[in-house]
Structure 1
Amino acid sequence: MGKPFRTIDQQIDLLEKRNLKFKDKEKAREILLKNNYYNLINNYSKFMINSFNTYEDNTYFENILMVQNLDRELKKILFEYLTEIESIFKAMLIYEYCNKYQEEYAFLNVRNYDKKNLSSAFSVISTYTNIINFYSNDKKANAIKHYINNHNDVPLWVLSNFLTLGQSIYFYNTLTPTLKYTIVRNHINKNLSSKDKIIRLDVAVFSSILENIRQIRNVVAHNNRLINFKCKNNIKYINELHNQDKRESRQTVYSTILTFKCFFNIIEYTNLKDRLVLLIEKFYNSMDNKNHATKVLNSLGFPSELYLK
């Protein structure tokens, strides 16, 4: 038998029976009317519950809202930077591919892909063909239709605007090892290196980084819960990127944010870090129970030195 429907007052009564306190019960009623109970309570209060499935002492409904707000504000910041990463990645990918393969519709030629990964290459070609066919027959004006009608060609830099980040990453993974290394060497390693130290990031590591970024991008874009999210790839430790305890998981949101250094210069990355520090400091200081705040921030991978001064 499924769980019964509960009115707002019944929801509040249930939460009080589980030892949750309210600073403003009338405001809480308004919030519960505008928020799905399951999404709010189950998603954001798990760090405040003891082994008896009741709330630990000194836990308020307003604290749950603070966790929800942290999740929301963090996604806003990351969306801005993830959008820029997508643009940067597509630009470097297109530049190196088009520089190597300059014939028309080069991306539809299976010989321009990794011979050991032909099934993926055919998948890419099929996807791109379908995209071109769809937009060329679209009644509305678009860039693909314009280039076919006026130039009898659709350059990759035009097609890329119709590709998702996931499709672009899949495309990258089907390229020849030589071309993948060229992209990493000319763009990622060049960006990470300095006068004092030359960085040579492994192609396989970069593919893992891209996949974790894609996963975070999907969570953010679909407005799913980011707190406690773990990426699939525990990326190989790279000192210049991670700068953290090697024993720690590199599947967290924070460890993925650290890999943003692949795409941004020092000033841009420092700006991101400063914004994140302000956000998590404000969250930590506003929480009534600091242990709860620490659990939330740990689930994201944020080290305590970022918010404990």
Structure 2
Amino acid sequence: MKHFKSLDEQIDYLHNNKNIEFQDREVAKNILLDCNYYNLISCSKIKFATNIKNGNHVYNKQDFNEWNEYFLMDCKVSEHLMTNLIELERIINSRAAYYIGELIENRVLGNRDRNEIISIIQRAEVEKLPKYTGEETWKYISKMTFGELKTLLFWLIDRRKNVYYQIISGYSHLRHANTKNRLNDIVQLRNFIFHFTPLNIYLAYSYRYDGSLDNTYRKETIDFIYSLSSDNEYIKHSIAEIIECSNRFIKIKNSQLSS
């Protein structure tokens, strides 16, 4: 259990344990207060960790400003991806509301399938609307979270793939043999960056079944979300640097696992 540290204690700990130099402690305290100690340090250790000894990461001497600059770059990339994710969610949600509404309202489905979809929408517990009974389907779907909508998309993949393909038309990444996994990766990416968890952490801590780390599919997910609006060269180069750092960090972690 890690105990609460004051800002001065945080700075002393970073200096003594992570080899970080501080030019101005008062400025550093303001940065740590506004950026969140855990987010900033967890993000930048992906770049600056050089090894692991006795269970602890090893760092070369770096100025705190360098740690902060790398974290701020992560924030800018995350903000760009957030914008693309919001646009993707808006489009997928709108299409799902229409095509699933068409299935329900026009009585295209048999009773079993219709009842299954109604049950899925009811479990979403959409606030400020009466309990869903199979009417005004589009209204209920339009208020679902992307994570809740994912359950409906999974149902379509299994039972009405042609409707799923209508919804994801134009997004080849989502028309894949492992589509459910790709959707899970997108939802997880969304949950990371919309809750201010650094993108570096999303990339550097993807565990395989054997306990090793592998970010292959997470890199593909980031590339897909970036490609939805990919005219920003700064973001493109920043993503490349973040991926490079996370790959190096994963090698360090996996080398310890294998040894």
Q: TM-score of the superposition, structure 1-length normalised? A: 0.60
Note closer, same or farther for the CA distance 1:155–1:298 as it changes in structure 2 (3 Å cut): farther
Tell me which residue corresponds to 1:27.
27
Task: State the Cα deviation string for residues 141-174 of structure 1 (Å, max 9, x = none).
Answer: xxx9xxx9xxxx8422211222111111101222
Letter in 2 for 1:259: F
Comparing 11-20 with 73-82, greater Cα deviation is found at 11-20
Q: Distance in 1 between matches of 2:243 and 2:21?
A: 17
Residue 68 (structure 2) pairs with residue 97 (structure 1):
no
Q: Is 2:39–2:197's contact at 8 Å kept on the other side of the alignment? A: no
Tell me which residue corresponds to 2:52.
51
1:206 CA drift (Å): 2.7
1:255 CA drift (Å): 0.9
Q: Distance in 2 between matches of 1:200 and 1:5?
A: 43
Report the secondary structure of 2:147's partner residue: helix
Any unmatched runs of 5+ in structure 2? 209-213, 251-259
Q: What is the aligned counterpart of 2:196 among 216, 220, 223?
A: 223
Q: Is 2:74–2:198's contact at 8 Å kept on the other side of the alignment? A: yes
1:213 CA drift (Å): 0.9
Letter in 1 for 2:194: A
Report the secondary structure of 2:52's partner residue: coil
Task: State the Cα deviation string for residues 227-269 of structure 1 (Å, max 9, x = none).
Answer: 13159799xxxxxxxxxxxxx85322x31033349xxxxxxx3
Note closer, same or farther for the CA distance 1:65–1:163 as it changes in structure 2 (3 Å cut): same
Report the secondary structure of 1:220's partner residue: helix
Residue 254 (structure 2) pairs with residue 251 (structure 1):
no
Q: Is 1:41–1:64's contact at 8 Å kept on the other side of the alignment? A: yes
1:4 CA drift (Å): 5.8
Letter in 2 for 1:180: K
Report the secondary structure of 2:231's partner residue: helix
Note closer, same or farther for the CA distance 1:180–1:13 as it changes in structure 2 (3 Å cut): same
1:278 CA drift (Å): 0.5
Note closer, same or farther for the CA distance 1:283–1:21 as it changes in structure 2 (3 Å cut): farther
- Give runs of aligned pairs for residues 36-75 of structure 1, distance below 5 A: 36-49=36-49, 50-52=51-53, 53=56, 56-75=59-78
| Count of equivalent residues | 240
1:69 CA drift (Å): 1.1
Tell me which residue corresponds to 1:237.
none
Report the secondary structure of 1:227's partner residue: helix
Note closer, same or farther for the CA distance 1:88–1:109 as it changes in structure 2 (3 Å cut): farther
Tell me which residue corresponds to 1:295.
245
Note closer, same or farther for the CA distance 1:10–1:208 as it changes in structure 2 (3 Å cut): closer
- Give runs of aligned pairs for residues 201-240 of structure 1, distance below 5 A: 201-202=175-176, 204-230=177-203
Tell me which residue corresponds to 1:141.
none
Note closer, same or farther for the CA distance 1:23–1:122 as it changes in structure 2 (3 Å cut): same
Tell me which residue corresponds to 2:153.
172
Tell me which residue corresponds to 1:304.
none
Any unmatched runs of 5+ in structure 1? 138-143, 194-198, 235-247, 262-268, 285-289, 301-309
Note closer, same or farther for the CA distance 1:192–1:217 as it changes in structure 2 (3 Å cut): closer
Q: Distance in 2 between matches of 1:256 and 1:164?
A: 19
Q: Is 1:21–1:60's contact at 8 Å kept on the other side of the alignment? A: yes
Q: Is 1:108–1:125's contact at 8 Å kept on the other side of the alignment? A: no
Q: Is 1:82–1:217's contact at 8 Å kept on the other side of the alignment? A: yes
Residue 120 (structure 2) pairs with residue 124 (structure 1):
yes
Higher strand fraction (1 or 2) = 2
**What percent identity do the matched residue pairs reach?**
22
Q: Is 1:75–1:226's contact at 8 Å kept on the other side of the alignment? A: yes
Letter in 1 for 2:175: L
- Give runs of aligned pairs for residues 88-167 of structure 1, distance below 5 A: 88-103=91-106, 110-112=112-114, 121=117, 123-127=119-123, 130-131=125-126, 135-136=129-130, 154-167=135-148
Note closer, same or farther for the CA distance 1:126–1:80 as it changes in structure 2 (3 Å cut): same
Note closer, same or farther for the CA distance 1:166–1:182 as it changes in structure 2 (3 Å cut): same
Note closer, same or farther for the CA distance 1:77–1:293 as it changes in structure 2 (3 Å cut): closer
Q: Is 1:227–1:299's contact at 8 Å kept on the other side of the alignment? A: no
